Chain A
Amino acid sequence: MNPNDTLSTALLIAGAIFFLAGTVGLLRFPDVYTRLHAITKADNVGLGLVVMGLAVQAETWAEAGKLLLIWCLVLLAGASVSHLIARGALTRGIKLWRR
């Protein structure tokens, strides 16, 4: 295995672990706000690591740039969407979780 493949494998598997964490959080956390916290992990870090793992393997700069562009779009969308959902949930009176 050449160093590129090793690096790419490590990044991809780390990304998959973050996706798993996001899904488990979505299923296990108690209210809207904590679940929002869980899914943004998958959105930002999970996809970021997968994109980096694939960008290492890309043959041209254009390919790697496109992967990064996709990630940036998801980052932008994820941030604004989380904000919108959290604010919408607050104004609609969804209660915060208390132990």
Chain B
Amino acid sequence: MQILYLALALFLLVNLGAGMWRILRGPTAADRMMAAQLFGTTAVAVLLLLAQATGKPALSDVALVFALLAAVTTVAFVRRAWTDQGANNESE
């Protein structure tokens, strides 16, 4: 089972790497923030898998904090940091 946990954690990390492309490309700030949101969720899954694989339950506390903070960052982005610039230059 441990091999499976580690393999899946690695697979999710590769997913994260692929998602980086969307952060680079944009085109709007919202797209970048959504990629960050997906990273947060994937990180929670990776941490839970690692907690089970290594037998360190503290890692699932880290996942809990990630789950809490992911929501706060995006709400802060929408309410405070999302300016209109870049809204009209959608290239796709």
- Chain A residues within an 8 Å CB radius of B70: 74, 77
Report whether A70 and B60 are in contact in the complex, using a CB–CB cutoff of 8 Å: yes
- Chain B residues within an 8 Å CB radius of A20: 11, 15
State which of B18, B63, B68, B82 has its C-beta within 8 Å of the C-beta of A88: B82
Q: How far is the CB of B37 from chain A (nearest CB, A)?
A: 6
Q: How far is the CB of B22 from chain A (nearest CB, A)?
A: 5
A78→B73 CA distance, assembly (Å): 12
Interface residues of A (CB under 8 A from B): 5, 8-9, 12-13, 15-16, 19-20, 22-23, 26-27, 30-32, 35-36, 39, 42-43, 46-47, 50-51, 54, 57, 63, 66-67, 69-70, 73-74, 76-78, 80-81, 84-85, 88-89, 92-95
Interface residues of B (CB under 8 A from A): 1, 4-5, 8, 11-12, 15, 18-19, 21-22, 28, 30-31, 33-35, 37-38, 41-42, 44-45, 48-49, 52, 57, 60, 63-64, 67-68, 70-71, 74-75, 78, 82, 84, 87-88, 90, 92
